[in-house]
Chains A and B, each alone.
Chain A
Amino acid sequence: MFRIICRKELLENIRNYRFLLALVICLVAIPLGFTVSQKDYADRRQVYDDTVRDYSESHKTVGDIMQQGGAAFRPPSVLGFLSGGVESILPSSVETLGYITASGANVEFNNTRKIDNPFMALFGRLDLAFIVSTVLAVLVMIFTFNAITGEKERRTLSQIMANPVSRPVAITAKMAAGMTLLAAAFLTGMLAGTLLLVVPGLGPFSGTKIITTLVVGAGVSLLFLFALYNFGLLVSSLTRSSVTAMVTLLSFWVAMAMILPKGSVVVAKILLPAKSQSVVDLEKNQVRYQISNELGAAIVYLTETTPGIKNMTTEEFFKALKAKNPAVEAFEKKQGELQDEFKAKTEAALERIDAEFDLHKAREAALALNLARISPVSCLVNILTELAGTGFMEEAKWRETRTRFKQILDREIASKQHELGFKDMWMSSSDRFNAKAPAPTVPAEPVPLERRLAAVWVDLVLLAIYGLVFFAGAYVSFLRYDVR
C-alpha cells in the first residue's frame, strides 16, 4: 500500500505541474545564482590577483617593506556562491601603518573599500543559502500546504483511509513521494549549476575540494528541505482548510527566515551588550598614554640616578656613546631594558583589552547564534556560510593572520632594525645586508572542510532533529485527524 500511495502522490504532483514548477525554478534560479556569484567572484579575484602581483613586484626585500609598509591580502572566497556571509564587510587586507620601527610594527586591517557592484547591494545576493531558504522554502510550502487539507477538501482522504492502509503508512508515503520529487528537482538544478562552474571551458572552478564542499552543501540543503517539508505536513495536518494552511505556513516561514535570525541579534545585544569599537579604542589610547608617561618618568629617574649622565648634554651623550664610554653604554643598555619592559607591559595591557573585547563580542555572537538556531533557516545559513569560508571562522582566521603578520614583521624586520642600532638604514648601504633579505609573506591558508564541519555540527544535528520532530508532529497530528 505504501508503494501505491507513493505512486499516486508522485503522479499527482507531476500532473498538477508542481514538479514541473519546482524543476523550472531550480533549473533557472540555481544556475543563475551560481553564475551571478561567479561573475562577482571573478571580478574580485581579478582585483586580488592584480593587487598581489603589484605588491610582490614592489615589495621584494625586507628593505622595501621597511620603506613602503607591508601588507597581506585576503583572497575572495571561491565558494561564495554557497553563501556570501559577511565577506563583503571583511577587510581585504592587513597592512602596516606608518614606518616599521624598532619598537615593532603597527598592523591594522585595511578598511579602504569601494563598492564595485551596487546591483548586488540593491537586489541582494542570489547565493545558494538565499535560494534554498527563500525561493525553495516557498516552493516547499506549495508542495505541502494542501497535502492533507486538500485531500480532505476534495473528499479523497476518507476514501484512501477506507482502504486497509494505516495512517503512518499514508503520511510516510506522502512525505517520501513529495521529498523525492523535490530532491530530484533540486539536485537537477544543483547539477546544472555545478556543471556551469566546473566543466572546463564553461566555468573557472576545478578540484575535488570544491566538488566535495558542493556535495556537502547540497546534502545540507536537502536536510533543510526535509525539515521544512515535514513542517508543511505538520501544519497541513493541523488545519482544516488549505488557505489557512498556506497562510499559516507563510507566517511561520516569515518568522523563521526574517524575524527570528535578526531578532535574536537584537535580543543578544540587549542581554549581553559588547562595548563599541570606539570605546575600546579610547581605552587603548588611555592605556598607551598612561604607560608612556610611566616610561618617561622611569627614564627621567634613571637619568637622574645614573652617575655622570644627569649633567650631560645630548651632544655629549652621543659623543660618549660613539666613543664607547662604558658608563654611557651601561645607561643605554638599562634604558633599552626599560623600553623593552614597558613595551611588553603596553602590549600585555592592550592584548588584555582586546582579549576582553573579543570575549564579550564572542559571547554576544554566541548568544545571538544560539537563539537564532530556533529557526532551521539560521542553521542552514550558518552551515553554508562556514562551508563557503565567508563566516565567523574566516573572520577569526583573519584576526589570527593579523597577529601572525605582526609577529613576522616584528621578528624579521623590527628586530633587524633594532640590531642595527643607530646606524642609518637609509643612508648607509653597507648595513643593508639585512634589508636585502627576501620580503616575508603570509600565505592565506584555507580552513580544511573537516574543521568547518566540526564548527557547525550543532546546526547539522539541529537540522536533523527539526526534520524528525516535525515529522513526528505531523504523524501524531495525522493520527488524530478527522478525515470526514
Chain B
Amino acid sequence: MTWTIARKEIVSNLLSYKFFIVLLLMVLLVATSLFIMHRDFEQRMADYQVIRPKPGEPIALVAPNPLSIFAKGLDDAMTRSFEVGVIGITVRAGQASGNIIYSFFPSPDFLYVVRVVLSLVALLFGFDQVSREREQGTLKLLLGSSVSRAKVLLGKWVGNFLSLATPFLLVTLLGTAFLSLDPDVHFAAGQIGRLALILGLSLLYLGFFLSLGILVSTLTKRAATSVVVLLFLWALFVFVIPNVGTLVARQFVAVPSVRALSEKHEQAWTREVLLGISKGGNWPEHMRTLSAEDDREEQDYRLKFERLVRLSRDINRVSPAASFLDAVSEVVGTGIGEESRLKAEVVRYKDSIIDRMIADVEAGKRDAQYPAFAYQPRPLAEIFASGALFDTAWLAFFNILAFALAYVAFVRYDVR
C-alpha cells in the first residue's frame, strides 16, 4: 500500500504544473551554477599557472581543487602562495588576473544552490501534503480505506522524495559528465567517490526539509499557514543560526588577530636583530630562534582558533544547514579543517628547509634550490573522524526526528 501511495504521489507530481517549473528551475540552477563555477575554476587554474613556483623556489602553493566547482569554501584562501624566507612565511593573494566585476556578484556554487534554494524547493514539496488533502477532502477518503496512517505518511514521503531526488540526481550527474569533458577538470577516482558522498549528503539534507514540510503540514490546518511557519524555520536554519553560533562562540573564545601575530613576529625580529648587533652574535642562531618562536606563536594561535571553530560548529549544529555545509566542505577538501591542515603543512615545510636556507643566506648563495612543497589532502577516513561522520549521522538523525514527529502529529491529526 505504501508503494501505491508513493506511486500516486509521483504521478500527481508528474501531472502538476509545479513539478515542471521545479524541474526547469533545477536544470537551470544546477547547470548555471556548474557552468559559472567551472569558468571560475578555469580562471583560477590560469592564475595558478602564472604564479606557479619555478623548480627549487621555496614557495608552497597548491593548485585549485576541481571539486571546489561544487563547494568553493575556503579554496581561495588555500590557493594563496606561501613564500618561505629566513624571516618567516609571507602569504600572497596570488595573481589578480580578473576584472573586479568577476567578484562583484557572488558565485552560487552547488553547495549554495542545495543549501538555500533546493531546501526551499523541498519545503514546497512537503508544505501542503496533509493540509491540502484535508482541504480537498481526499484525506478522509484515503484513511477510510484499510491503510494505516504510518503507511500513508511513508508513501507520501517516498513519493515526494523520489519526485525531488530523481531529477536532482539526473541533472547533477549530467552536469558533472559535461564537466569531466574538460581536460583541465580531472576528477581522480577518490574525487568521484567524494562526489557521490556530496550527492548522498545533499539527499539527506533535502530529505530533512521534505520531512519538515510534512511535519508542519500535519501541525497546521491550512497550507498558507504552513508556508508561513516553514519560511520562518528555513530562514532560521539556513541564515540565522549559523551566524548566531559564530557570534556567540566569539564571545567565549578570544582568538588573537592575525595582526597581533605579525606584531609579535616583528617584536621577536627586532629583539633578535638587536641581540645580534649588541652581542656580535651568531646570525644563524638568531634566525633559528626567530623561526622557533614564530612556530610557537602560530601553534598557540591555531590552538585557540581550533577551539573557536569547535565551539562555533557545536552551536551551529542546532541547524542541519550548518552541519550540511561543514560536512560537504570538508569532504570536498575546502573546509576549515583542510585549511588548518594545509597551514600546518606549510609550517612543517618551512621547518624542513629553514636550516638550509639560513646556511645558504649566510654563505651568500643566491640561486639555492629547495625541494618542492607537496601537499596531500586529508583522506576521507580522517575527514570523517574529525567531524564529517558526526555531521552525516546528525543529518540522518534530523531526518528521522522530523519524520517521527510528523508521524506522531499525523496520528493525532483530525482529518475532518
Contacts and interface: CB of A to CB of B under 8 A. Distances in A.
Contacts of B322: 123
Given A46-B257, A122-B336, A261 B235 contact: no
A146 B229 CA distance: 15
Interface string A143-175: 001100010000000000000000000000000
A138 B80 CA distance: 36
Interface in A250-286: 250-251, 254-255, 258-259, 261-263, 265-266, 268-269, 274, 276-278
Interface in A363-388: 364-365, 368-369, 372, 378, 381, 385
A126 B101 contact: no
Query: Which of B21, B50, B73, B121 has the largest count of A CB atoms less than 10 A from its CB?
Result: B21
Contacts of A139: 231
A407 interface: no
A458 B87 CA distance: 51
Nearest to A51: B259
A18 interface: yes
Interface SS of chain B: helix
A47 B94 CA distance: 22
A2 interface: no
A441 B336 CA distance: 39
Interface stretch (B32-40, B178-186, B192-200, B358-366): B32-40
B39 A122 contact: no
A118 B228 CA distance: 32
Contacts of B80: 113
A247 interface: yes
B177 to A, nearest CB: 21
Query: Which of B94, B235, B250 has the largest count of A CB atoms less than 10 A from its CB?
Result: B235
Nearest to B43: A276
A254 B124 contact: no
A247 B105 contact: no
Interface in B84-141: 90-108, 112-113, 116-117, 120-121, 124, 128
A210 interface: no
A241 B223 CA distance: 12
Nearest to A368: B101
A8 B101 CA distance: 46
A452 interface: no
A86 B100 contact: yes
B404 to A, nearest CB: 26
A50 B263 contact: yes
A369 B28 CA distance: 21
A378 to B, nearest CB: 7
A251 B231 contact: no
Contact of B339 (A118, A138, A261, A274): A118
A5 B112 CA distance: 40
A265 B239 contact: no
Interface string B232-272: 10110001101110110010000001110001000000000
Contact of B225 (A16, A255, A265, A276): A16
B21 A150 contact: no
B25 A251 contact: yes
A369 B227 CA distance: 34
A288 interface: no
A254 to B, nearest CB: 6
Nearest to B335: A122
Contact of A116 (B25, B108, B243, B257): B257
B356 interface: no
Contacts of B225: 16-17
A130 B93 CA distance: 26
B106 A247 contact: no
Interface string A178-222: 000000000000000000000000000000000000000000000
Contacts of B105: 261-262, 265, 372, 378, 381
B6 interface: no
A126 B95 contact: no
A32 interface: yes
Interface string B331-346: 0000110010000000
Contacts of B29: 254, 258-259
Query: Which of A86, A247, A263 has the largest count of B CB atoms less than 10 A from its CB?
Result: A247
A208 to B, nearest CB: 29
Interface stretch (A35-43, A418-426, A459-467): A35-43
A250 B25 contact: yes
A89 interface: yes
A134 interface: yes
Nearest to A357: B99
Nearest to A259: B32
B146 to A, nearest CB: 30
A28 interface: yes
A401 interface: no
Interface residues of A, number: 79
Contacts of A46: 257, 259
B235 A138 contact: yes
Given A51-B259, A364-B99, A111 B92 contact: yes
Contact of B100 (A263, A269, A365): A365
A361 B243 contact: no
A38 B206 CA distance: 33
Contacts of B224: 16, 146, 150, 242
Given A50-B263, A121-B76, A135-B239, A262 B107 contact: yes
B21 A251 contact: yes
Nearest to A261: B105
B32 A138 contact: no
A250 B121 contact: yes
Contact of A118 (B35, B77, B121, B325): B77
Contacts of B108: 258, 262
A29 B32 contact: no
A302 interface: no
B18 A243 contact: yes
A412 interface: no
A247 B124 contact: yes
B24 interface: yes
A395 B22 CA distance: 39
B73 A122 contact: yes
Query: Which of B17, B33, B104 has the largest count of A CB atoms less than 10 A from its CB?
Result: B104
B231 A21 contact: yes
A24 interface: yes
B338 to A, nearest CB: 11
A25 interface: yes
B372 to A, nearest CB: 22
B103 A86 contact: yes
B247 A36 contact: yes
A56 to B, nearest CB: 15
Given A36-B247, A268-B101, A122 B36 contact: no
Given A261-B105, A262-B36, A361-B101, 18 more contacts: A21-B232, A47-B257, A51-B259, A111-B93, A112-B90, A121-B76, A123-B243, A126-B243, A135-B239, A243-B16, A247-B18, A262-B108, A265-B102, A265-B104, A266-B39, A365-B100, A368-B101, A381-B104
What are the nearest 6 A-B pairs in CB distance? A261-B105, A365-B101, A47-B259, A111-B93, A276-B97, A119-B246
14 contacts: A21-B231, A50-B263, A122-B74, A123-B243, A138-B231, A142-B231, A241-B17, A246-B227, A247-B17, A250-B124, A258-B32, A258-B108, A265-B105, A365-B104
Interface of B: 16-18, 21-22, 24-25, 28-29, 32-33, 35-36, 39, 46-47, 50, 73-74, 76-77, 80, 90-108, 112-113, 116-117, 120-121, 124, 128, 223-225, 227-229, 231-232, 234-235, 239-240, 242-244, 246-247, 250, 257-259, 263, 312, 322, 325, 329, 335-336, 339
Interface of A: 16-18, 21, 24-25, 28-29, 32-33, 35-36, 39, 43, 46-47, 50-51, 54, 85-86, 89, 111-116, 118-119, 121-124, 126, 134-135, 138-139, 142, 145-146, 150, 241-244, 246-248, 250-251, 254-255, 258-259, 261-263, 265-266, 268-269, 274, 276-278, 361, 364-365, 368-369, 372, 378, 381, 385, 391-392, 395
